[in-house]
Amino acid sequence: MSLALFDLDNTLLAGDSDYSWGQFLIELGVVDRDEYEQANQRFYDDYQVGRLDIHEFAAFAFRPLGENALVDLERWREQFLRERIAPIMLPAGREKIEAHRQAGDDIVIITATNRFITEPIAAAFGVSQLLATEPEFRDGAFTGRIAGIPCFQQGKVERLMQWLAETGGTLDQSWFYSDSHNDIPLLERVAHPVAVDPDDALRVVAEERGWDVVSFRGAP
C-alpha cells in the first residue's frame, strides 16, 4: 500500500490555522491584543523565512491552552472551525485526498500545528491519521508545554519514522504534498515529492530537482 502524506497549512488550507487561531483568540478577547498580535506576527514571519524556534513558539502558542478551561477551549475551537477554517478548506485538496483514497493509499496529514487545533480539521477532510505537534495534557488540562518531538522541519521526519516503525509502513511508494521550504527534509525522503503552491524557496528547490509543482488554488 502506498502512503500519501499531506501538509495542512497553506497546502490543504488556503491559510495558516496556527496563525489564524491566534488572531481568533485576539478577537474573542481571550488574549491581550497588542502583546499577542505582535508576537503572533513575529513568529509567523520567522516561520516563513525558516528561522522559527519551535520551542519558543510553542511556549507562546500553548499558553492560552494552559490558561483556559478545556470546555471553553473546545467551544472556541468549534466556532473557529466553523467561521475561519471551513471557508479556506481547498476543494482541490479534498479531491487529491479522495484520489489517493480511491487508489487504496494510506493517507496521513502531517503538520507542525498542534493537535488540539488540527485534529478536527483533519477529520473534516475525512482523514483519521494525523501527525501533529503534541501539546502536553495532564490531569484533564493542558500544561502549556510540548509533549515529545515537535512535528516541524527535521522533527516531521523523526515523527514519521517513529509512526512507520509502529505501523510497519515504508516510504517505498510514498507521496508528500507541501507548500513550505520548512518541509524540504521530508520532501527529500519520499518517493514522490510534490510542491503545492510553493513558497519561493521551495519552488526554487523543486524546479532544480525536478519535483512536481502543482496548485490546489487554481494558480499557474
Distance CA 203, CA 208 (A): 8
**Whether 175 contacts 2, CB under 8 Å:** yes
**Whether 190 contacts 172, CB under 8 Å:** no
**Cell numbers standing for residue 121:** 480539521
Q: Which of 9, 16, 18, 179 is catalytic?
A: 9
Distance CA 79, CA 200 (A): 33
Instruction: Tell me which residue has cell 509533549.
Output: 147
CB atoms within 10 A of CB 210: 8
- Output the CA torsion sign for 121, 93, 16, 177: positive
Whether 7 is a known active-site residue: answer: yes
Whether 105 is a known active-site residue: answer: no
> From start to end of the chain, where are the E strands?
3-6, 106-114, 130-138, 141-147, 174-178, 192-196, 212-214
Distance CA 214, CA 176 (A): 12
46 class by beta-carbon count within 10 Å (0-12 exposed, 13-18 middle, 19+ buried): middle
Q: Which of 7, 18, 179, 197 is catalytic?
A: 7
Where in the sequence numbering do the catalytic residues fall? Answer: 7, 9
